[in-house]
Structure 1
Amino acid sequence: MGILAGLLDLALPVECAGCGAAGSAWCARCAAELEGGPVGVRPRVAPGVPVWSTGVFGGARRGAVIALKEHGRRDAAVPLAAALARSITALREAGELDPPELAPLILVPAPSRASAARRRGGDPVLRIATLAAGASPTRHAPARPATDVAPDRAVPALRLRAGARDSVGLGAAARQRNLAGRVTVRRGAVERLSAGSGRGAPGSVHRAPAVVFVDDVVTTGATAAESVRVLANAGVRVCAALVLGHA
């Protein structure tokens, strides 16, 4: 097996998705870059909800996102999702988000252009959000009772209508114009976002699911603001936005 593995490495060199270093799909240095708690950010276009980021969009974060979105490195979603899940845990422990015993968390990924999703073999932000939602909400919490609230999950509630351009290179005002009227709520999404909160344990406080908007990076805040707005118009209250990195 060792000889076979060596031959496979020669044919398909293993490179870190974060920095491109040889020898590991995700190196220790890049793993260390993604450690740490979430930080609050204030984008130029305020979405009307708190915005949190796992860190500055550069280095390992930027490298992993590019590897996932542009080079087909689906494995890069795993460390990115882990960073997102750690931030969710920290925000719950700090009281910024409801703890899991009170309400489930629903992650709503940013809408993406259909052409981009097809080219990438799926929606990368949805993949990250789904993996993050599947992670344990608290690393040392006891198992939930069967009658407790529903598990966390990701719901692709938003879609981007045709006509929206790639936002790279656009300023805040141009991004707002580009998205205006083009972000819509998918059919049946409102029901999925409000259902499944569970019965709750005896004597527990029952709360609706906490809806959090998720994206890979926040630059101007235009995408988050438009997404929060259309969800609010549909009767869905978003309590926060969480991104992998901020510019």
Structure 2
Amino acid sequence: MWACGPYRGPLRSAIIAAKEHGRRDLVEPLGGALARSLITLARWGELPDADRLLLIPAPTRLAAARRRGGDPVEAYCRAAAQHLGPGVGVTRLLRTSGWVHDSAGLSAGARVENLRGAIRLRTDHPLPPAFSARPAIVLVDDVVTTGVTVAESIGALHRSGVAVSAVVVLAAAD
């Protein structure tokens, strides 16, 4: 797992403003940071040499996405894909069960219990046909705190035969 930076200072402020306060003007710079990180990881050899790259946003609770006017992680992925070009796709392949609570303020143990078995593959959103030739797959999230969302997401993808090449988050909490 790779992070664009620590979850503090201007990066933290930008993520919160975009996610919780509707600052859509911050999607482009955050997506640009994600794109630059992916370019760097490819240059370092941390991503497989593949003709295509598929970005899979970590799932957002449906109620939260509605409240926020959309899924911010998906928006960052789409902005990054625009920077990176036509060989990069984005698909919302994961969903979260409706009974999951917001994880803000939960302890690490409570986060595990809250998400255990709650992340699944969407059956209504298959892989895009253009990506059937084994792309490099990157799971993307905005912030990693305990890693529970990432672990549950990778587990759901793995059980469905989808191999994740890397995880990239905008920020890692201390």
TM-score, reference length from structure 2: 0.93
Shift of 1:181: 1.8
User: What secondary structure is seen at the aligned counterpart in 1 of 2:45?
Assistant: coil
Shift of 1:197: 4.1
Richer in strand (by share): 2
Q: Please tell me the residue identity of whatever aligns with 2:15.
A: V
Say if 2:54 and 2:131, in contact at 8 Å, map to a contact too: no
Structure-2 residue corresponding to 1:196? 130
Q: Alignment RMSD, CA only?
A: 1.6
- Which has the higher relative contact order, 1 or 2, with Cα contacts under 8 A spaced 6 or more apart? 2
- Are 1:84 and 2:20 an aligned pair? no
How many residues align structurally? 173
User: What secondary structure is seen at the aligned counterpart in 2 of 1:238?
Assistant: coil
Structure-2 residue corresponding to 1:71? 21
Structure 1 segments, 4+ long, off by >6 Å, are: none
Structure-1 residue corresponding to 2:47? 97
Aligned partner of 2:120 among 184, 208, 218: 184
Q: Please tell me the residue identity of whatever aligns with 2:97.
A: R
Cα distance between partner residues in 1 of 2:3 and 2:101:
25
Say if 2:57 and 2:141, in contact at 8 Å, map to a contact too: yes
Shift of 1:188: 4.6
Structure-2 residue corresponding to 1:118? 66
- Are 1:241 and 2:167 an aligned pair? yes
Say if 1:134 and 1:153, in contact at 8 Å, map to a contact too: no
- Are 1:163 and 2:111 an aligned pair? no
Say if 2:58 and 2:139, in contact at 8 Å, map to a contact too: yes
Say if 2:5 and 2:171, in contact at 8 Å, map to a contact too: yes
Q: Give the unaligned 5+ runs of structure 1.
A: 1-50, 138-149, 199-206
Shift of 1:68: 0.9
Cα distance between partner residues in 2 of 1:166 and 1:89:
32
Shift of 1:190: 4.5
Say if 2:56 and 2:91, in contact at 8 Å, map to a contact too: yes
Larger Rg: 1
TM-score, reference length from structure 1: 0.67
Cα distance between partner residues in 1 of 2:54 and 2:127:
12
Cα distance between partner residues in 2 of 1:136 and 1:113:
27
- Are 1:62 and 2:12 an aligned pair? yes
Shift of 1:152: 0.3
Identity of aligned residues (%): 46
Cα distance between partner residues in 1 of 2:2 and 2:26:
21
Q: Deviations over 1:28-50 (max 9, x none)?
A: xxxxxxxxxxxxxxxxxxxxxxx
Q: Please tell me the residue identity of whatever aligns with 1:56.
A: P
Aligned partner of 2:81 among 105, 108, 133: 133
